[in-house]
Each structure stands twice: as C-alpha cells, then as structure tokens.
Structure 1
C-alpha cells in the first residue's frame, strides 16, 4: 500500500479517465444533430379574363390545396347570402354588422359570428356545392382559417360573384353586395392582386402564421382591370419566412402572370 495517499488517489483517477475515454469514442461527443431543411415558399396563381369570354382559368404552378386564412371570408359571406336568399329575406342588421367589418377590415370576431350563423364547416360545404367549388375542404372545430382550397376553386368562387354570364345561385343583389365590400377594404390591406392594376381593385387578402412551423400563408383574390380587360385573379402561397416576404411573393407572382 502506498505511503503517499494523495499520489495513490491521483493514479486511480487518471486510470479511470483513461478507461472512460477508451470506452466512448471522441467523435460521438462532438457530432452535431442534423438540421431539418426549411422548404422553399410556394405559390400558385390562376387568372381568368372575363372580357375575353374565357371560362377556364390559366393556372401557373401546381393547383394544389393551400390554407385559405382570411380569404375564406368571401366564401363565408357567399354562404350567408345563399342562406338569406333561401329564407326569402334580406340580411338582418346584425348580419350586416358582422359582414361589413369581416370583409372591409378582416375582422375575425365578425367571421366567428357568421361562421356559426352559416352552420360552420357543414354549412360552408353545402354552400360550396351550390357555388361549384370542387376542391375546397372547410376547416373544422371553428378553425375557418384552416379551410383548404385551390387557386382554381377560388376562381370559381370569384366567377359566382363577378361574372355576369356565369350560372350562379347568388342573385344580382347578393353579388353586388359582395363586390361593394371587396371594393372597400382598408387601404393598408389593399395589397396582393391590386399590385398589377390601377386603384379600384376589388379584393380580399388572407395571412396566417402557422404555429407548427412559424412560416406564413399569404393569399390574395379579387377582380382587377388590366389593359381594359376585367380579370379574376387568385394567388395562394405558403412557406414564407415572414408576412412581408409572403406579400412580396404574392405580388410578384401576380405581376408575372399578368405581364
């Protein structure tokens, strides 16, 4: 037994450290965890020239489903108007009191109220069958902003509102009401498809940051006039790092499609 306790303890500790380093490869301790790649943002645009007599839109990009965010508010209003027509009545003061801020300033509380009024997802689905939308799936559990739609279906919705030659269940008064509200959105929300036209575009925009990824859905739909032609335009996008990036993507996509 050693007559120097401190020296003996030091030898034992050094031996233990050597054994541990031999048992655990050094490389295993410093290898970084792989990073999950962030996908590039995606966008799809559909355009229909009403004054050219077209009935099928020109689509650029994959006509896949995107989250609607607040553009679904036009769909909610159309469903509300169909409900009132079926009951042979005008909108009540309370319904108008929700419909107007829902479109003009994208008020979410107003959308919540009218979502319940139309019967939520079941009511929207029933209305969309009548409006000719074939690729739109209503959000559930009160999450109307997570309704999924395609650019092509949004053109079908816009035709029901803006195309006087279309076979639509919305009567002329209902269509005029939707058009009027889409022409009165707040100035700070007049971006998107309006970037390609002179002032006076009738539109509705939507934006939503997904909590699961932190990335943004940014969309814009409406009617614009280009070179004397009235055009219906729907731009849907997702995967942007910020809302401003999404707005830039939507406007750039619209300009390219209508160049």
Structure 2
C-alpha cells in the first residue's frame, strides 16, 4: 500500500469509549462485569467500522442474465451501466444487497466538497486540491476524514443518497467508509459524479485524478480491460478484523460504461482474491460482448 492506514477517526472514538468504560468500572467494579468493544483496525483504502450489519448468504455459482458466472467464496454483486442509454445489467442481487462502501465513497466525498466550494463562489486552495488528490490517487484516509467532516459528516452521505437518487443505500452514523451501498447504487453514484463533471471544472479535475490513481490502487477492472484503455477508477478495500472478512470493491468507468463489483470473503484469502473477482467479472462481460 502506498500510505499507512488512518487511525485518527478510530482513535477519537475508541479513546472516548475506553475512558468512559474505565471510569464506570472503577465505581461499579464490584457490581458489574467489565466490558470491551474494540474497534477493528483500519487498512489502507477504508477505515475500521462498528459491528457489522447482517450479511446476505454466499453467492451461488449460477449464470445471471448477462452470462456472468461467479464461483467464488463469500459474497459478490456487480452492476454495469451504459452511460449513453441508462441500460443496466447486473447480478440478481445488484439492487437489493449491500456492502460497505469502503474507499469507493471517496469519489463522492471529493465531488461533494467541490460542490460546496462552488456554492460558496470560491476556488479551492492548493492545499484543498492536495487533499483531494491524495484521497483519490493514494486513498488517503486522513484526507477523506477531513473533507467529509468539513461538509457536515453524515450530511454529505445524505446528500449523495438524495442528489444521486440512490435507492438501496444507507448512512452508517459517523462512519463514511461503512456506508451501505448496493452495486447498482455504486454505478449510479459514479454516473452522478461524471454528469457533474460535464459542467463543473472542479469535478472534471476530480475525474482526471481518478484516471491517474497510483498503480497499487488500480487493481481489478482496469487490469482486465484492453491495454491502454483510459479508465477512471476508485476502489475500496479493508480487512475488517471484527468479522475476519475482506471487503474489496471495484468501481470504474471507461468509454461509455460504468461498472461496480462489490465483494466480501474470508480474511485468510487476502486482498488479491477480491481483485481477481473484479477482474473475472470484467473479463466475462467483455467476452460476452459490450455493445
């Protein structure tokens, strides 16, 4: 990973909880058992999260309507959107089952921050652009935390759901990386940002950053596309120790397509397993033909 994980948000919250629990324990130790609720540590590409929401069952290896078959451990969903026509293809669960966004949502955090500056009628400073660039190109969690907080925290995620018309996503209070999103909503969110880029020079610059992400961040979909294909990408990846599950999501746009692949699976399989799932979906779609 190009950068070390962000611990700032986690430290603030766990530090406060630990302090309160310690004080209570000193007063009531004879009456109450001590409790501990550690927060899973962060990985580059996303932050640790509170206890996980119930997860859907594992994906069965059955071809979907687009001819894509996934025979993988864990769970996966994918959605392909034709940006010209709005036509969609996707796994049967693409609009109904969610995963943590992890760092995929940094695309929106950047676009929302830029929109805020535009509403104020001001240009972003070099320092602000540096944070946006680090967040997109290197998946810097500290930068994402700063930009998200500056736009009201959870209010920024509420705007994503409302302004982009998402139908299967939900805020996870105070945890941007744990926002729940469907594969269909992920490509809808990306389409929303790409549409803004047509009229907003700042958002266009954000999309340009997505086309120059660090190579270590450009796994999955870009690796499966023909060599030299211009592609805008923002992936998300985190090993959630509390679940012992890797959450690996891929989000990319090329030509007139937007594709998302969301996965989770046993932690022992490693990050590359999820990247391979993203690449597998992409190759099968290319094999069956994209018109």
Which of the five TM-score ranges fits, normalised by the shorter chain?
0.7 to 0.9
Per the alignment, residue 209 of structure 1 pairs with 239
Structure 2 matches for 1:119-138, cutoff 5 A?
119-138=152-171
Structure 2 matches for 1:221-240, cutoff 5 A?
221-225=251-255, 230-240=256-266
SS in 1 for 2:275: helix
SS in 2 for 1:258: helix
Per the alignment, residue 50 of structure 2 pairs with none
Per the alignment, residue 176 of structure 1 pairs with 204
Residue 148 of structure 1: which of 160, 163, 180 is its match? 180
- Which runs of 5 or more structure 2 residues have no equivalent in the other structure? 1-56, 59-72
Task: Please report how far the alpha carbon of residue 71 of structure 1 lies from its aligned counterpart in structure 2 after TM superposition.
Answer: 0.6
CA deviations on 1:106-162 (whole Å, 9 max, x unpaired) are: 011111111111111122212431122232223322x22111111111111121233
Residue 86 of structure 2: which of 39, 55, 79 is its match? 55
Alpha carbons of structure 1 residues 130 and 181: separation in structure 2 relative to 1, 3 Å: same
Take 2:159 and 2:104, find their aligned partners in 1: how far apart are those partners? 18
Q: Is the 8 A contact 1:45 1:257 kept in 2?
A: no
More helix by share: 1
State the Cα RMSD in Å.
2.1
Take 1:95 and 1:202, find their aligned partners in 2: how far apart are those partners? 21
Matched, 1:160 2:192: yes
Structure 2 matches for 1:96-111, cutoff 5 A?
96-111=129-144
CA deviations on 1:34-54 (whole Å, 9 max, x unpaired) are: xxxx9541111111233xx32
Per the alignment, residue 19 of structure 2 pairs with none
Q: Is the 8 A contact 2:160 2:189 kept in 1?
A: no
Matched, 1:79 2:112: yes
Q: Is the 8 A contact 1:201 1:224 kept in 2?
A: yes
Q: Is the 8 A contact 2:251 2:259 kept in 1?
A: yes
Q: Is the 8 A contact 2:157 2:176 kept in 1?
A: no
Take 2:193 and 2:110, find their aligned partners in 1: how far apart are those partners? 11
Take 2:241 and 2:184, find their aligned partners in 1: how far apart are those partners? 27
Matched, 1:185 2:213: yes
Q: Is the 8 A contact 1:79 1:124 kept in 2?
A: no
Q: Is the 8 A contact 1:136 1:153 kept in 2?
A: yes
Task: Please report how far the alpha carbon of residue 221 of structure 1 lies from its aligned counterpart in structure 2 after TM superposition.
Answer: 0.6
* Matched residue count: 211
Task: Please report how far the alpha carbon of residue 248 of structure 1 lies from its aligned counterpart in structure 2 after TM superposition.
Answer: 1.1
Q: Is the 8 A contact 1:43 1:250 kept in 2?
A: no
What TM-score does the superposition give when structure 2 sets the normalisation length?
0.67
What TM-score does the superposition give when structure 1 sets the normalisation length?
0.75
